[in-house]
Structure 1
Amino acid sequence: MSSRLALTNAYSYVLEGATGFQAGAFQYDAVADRWDWSDDVYEIHGFTRGEIVPTTKLVLAHKHPDDRAPFEAVLRNALTGGSPVVSHHRIVDAHGATRYIMMVAEGTYSTSGDVIGLSGYFIDLTAVREHETRAVADEAVARSAEHRGIIEQAKGWLMATRGVDAEAAFTILSEISQSSNTKLFAVAEALIHHVEAESVPAAGRNSRPVASTTGSR
């Protein structure tokens, strides 16, 4: 597979069926240290075309401090071998906002076959990441509410059967949790399952048989 085809496939894979992000193309001339950005890349970095002149120094200045060195390493590798590369990193745009970026790029070549630059795309995944983060947070809140409900059920059962108040019931559950090295929710859930399992045969024993409506009179 050619590097151009590999890059095209990588970019197509990212775009396939995906929404909610911004992507723009770039060309980098390593000989002149000149970056050519599409309007989308300017916007991703918080600029408009003509406001600044993209250089490697500016590109690196907008990388998140923790991601700058890894990005430089990816850049060096791409310029050394020319093979397609992918970089996931953060940038800090002109307005001070942190954005989550994926760069896919490959080398461009001179007529003699030397790598003289890069061609690729910057893809802003911030909106996608924030959506996923919100989904995870919503799930955590829902799970927390469910856990609280189970714990309250277990406390209620202890209060009814042990004749203790809510604080004492919670203390009992906490002591079992600590002594067994088990999460409080798991202790409460196991107790509720045990109570429910015990209640089924009890109900069966207390129920009266249904009289038959068939047979001789």
Structure 2
Amino acid sequence: MGNGSVVGVDRTVDQVFGAGDPQRVGSFRFYLDGERWEWSDAVAQMHGYTPGTITPTTELLLSHKHPDDQRQVAKILERMISDAEPFSSRHRIIDTTGRTRHVIVVGDRLLDNTDAVIGTSGFYIDVTDTLDTDLQESVTEAVDELEKTRAVIEQAKGALMLVYGISADRAFDVLTWRSQHTNTKLRAIATQLVQELATNAGSPSESFRARFDHLLITVHERIPQQ
């Protein structure tokens, strides 16, 4: 159905929920080509369907959103479809039996083997029932971690866009290239770049562009070892 991989999202699901209740966590993929959806058996069951009996569509997913949350989620889906924009949302869905479920949905860019954006991939977490403390904390930590990652990457992208006069997509491509070329995590590259850009004033004789070029090319060398 497509050849893609997701930076961060699937790994987070595996680490946080690998030993949890499989019915509480499920994955999905959305492909820009043909606006095709795929969902795991767990996500189908969250919506009240027997796995394998129905193919999800944008219209079907929206029809299951709680009326009070539908407008908010529709806007998120619109941005996701038009721009493959990462997102996270806490909202309610109504399954085929009429039961209201509270879910957390997190999505990130889906890339093919050439790092081209081909859609969105992510996961649903059903938090309707009272979860044990450890799992609830893990859910919060996972979502917070993704939000922090996106925030610092957006800051780094903004710096690249300003300095080089490039688009957001090209700025993301540059960060991804540095990450892959230096075998360094994308978030680490972005974090270090933003920190050094804020603190490294350089000498008055240096141009801002030249200092930035140097920071970008050498930033991976100063990332603290974990």
Q: TM-score, normalised by structure 1?
A: 0.49
Rg (Cα) greater in structure? 1
Q: TM-score, normalised by structure 2?
A: 0.47
